[in-house]
Amino acid sequence: MNPGIDLQGTFIESLKDLGLPAGTAKAVWMPLPMILMIIGATVGVLTCVWLERKISAAAQQRIGPEYIGPLGLLAPVADGLKLVFKEDIVPAKSDPLLFTLGPIIVVLPVFLSYLIVPFGQNLVITDIGTGVFLWIALSSIQPIGLLMAGYASNNKYSLLGGLRAAAQSISYEIPLALAVLAVVMMSNSLSTIDIVNQQSGYGILGWNVWRQPVGFIIFWIAALAECERMPFDLPEAEEEIVAGYQTEYSGMKFALFYLSSYVNLVLSALLVSILYLGGWDFPIPINLVAGWLGVSETNPLLQVITASLGITMTVLKAYFLVFIAILLRWTVPRVRIDQLLDLGWKFLLPIGLVNLLITAALKLAFPVAFGG
């Protein structure tokens, strides 16, 4: 397959061809990534909220929302508008600056992580060589915002939620990084484009989930913990600490926490599909399908269809993982805080380290099969 081309260079070169100076072309490009991220992530969140309600209703043998728009599609929009127009209350004895900065610090790193997510062969905002490292670095910033929000609220339940969020993130960040390093080692690159390309050519048999089954499980469990999904939603456990770090928040500040939670879930599902499920790669190699149909791989129509189906494959794989995450909410009980920490430190961490060492040994012994 051809190497990935980032959208930035293509877009700027296109504007230059139209006669715009290089400086103007770059200035036009600069706001577009943020606009694309905000629009795409917002649509993903609205879809995810609707799916949460529909899948939860099906799991409980209910109908779910259906009157607010066709099939209840406008229910998430109504929720968002409600939070936008709600009064923004700041507790009298809170720290106003930290109270306001908390939600912003939580949501910004998640949005920035979408910069390195490829939805197709040539559909990535920026293909930097250290994309995976950038995502790991950004994901470690979010707990600071959660701890800041819990501390600034001047509420014991909020403080407990913030402390739980920090402890949970530290416990699962290391196993998650070890699982990702095993994939990076096999791909010989930190670029998400290179990781997907390394899995292509053999269809479903070339996906990393078969060569890294232990890493896949570790990554998915750690991702659920990072997103604070059941059974790891201890930082906001309603039955124990009201709503954790969100207790004192309302209006747009609460909406930012709500948004970051679902944006992070969609991001985690996309990263699992990219790292382990071949990204935009098809279960059956496209060159075999083209050969069966007697169509040349250089056919422009085939390339357009392949690109469109590649985006669809990425979204479908992410949807499947979101579906599993939502289903777990209604099938698995919440763990205790000591069980959560034990799982991260005593099981996932040593297993992730052993998995990384075994991957290194197999890479040396079988360089062809393990990306040597």
Task: Indicate whether 33 pLDDT > 80.
Answer: no
Q: What is the pLDDT of residues 45-72, one digit of tens each?
A: 888 888 888 888 888 888 878 888 787 8
4 pLDDT tier (thresholds 50, 70, 90)? very low
**231: preceding bond cis by omega (within 30 degrees):** yes
Helix (H, G, I), strand (E, B) or coil at 120: strand
**DSSP classification of residue 123:** B
Q: End-to-end alpha-carbon separation of the chain, Å? A: 18
Rounded to 5°, angle at Cα 223 from 157 and 199: 170
Question: Which segments within 139-240 are labelled E, that is strand?
Answer: none
Beta bridge partners of 123: 120
> Over the stretch 95-138, which tens digit does the pLDDT of each residue have?
888 888 888 888 888 888 888 888 877 777 777 888 888 888 88
Model confidence pLDDT, tens digit, residues 322-369: 999 888 888 888 888 888 889 989 999 999 999 999 998 888 887 766
Q: Token digits for 158? A: 């909020």
Say yes or no to pLDDT of 2 above 70.
no
Stretch 198-215: mean pLDDT, rounded? 86
Alpha helical stretches, state H, the chain: 7-17, 22-29, 31-59, 75-85, 96-113, 131-139, 142-152, 156-187, 192-199, 208-211, 213-226, 238-241, 251-275, 286-293, 300-329, 337-342, 349-365
Q: Are 265 and 229 in contact (CB under 8 A)?
A: yes
Which pTM was predicted?
A: 0.85
* pLDDT tens digits for range 362-372: 888 877 666 65
d(CA 4, CA 24): 25
Handedness of CA 299, 302, 304, 306 (dihedral sign): negative
| CB-based contact 234:334 (threshold 8 Å) | yes
Asked whether 190 and 290 are in contact (CB, 8 A), the reply is no
* Tokens describing residue 364: 């040396």
pLDDT surpassing 50 at residue 3: no
Contact predicate 175/352, CB 8 Å? yes
Question: 244 with 235: CB under 8 angstroms?
Answer: yes
Token reading at 265? 């879930």
Q: Using CA atoms in the order 65, 71, 72, 76, what is the torsion angle rounded to 10 degrees?
A: 120
Give the whole-angstrom CA distance, residue 294 versus residue 291. 5
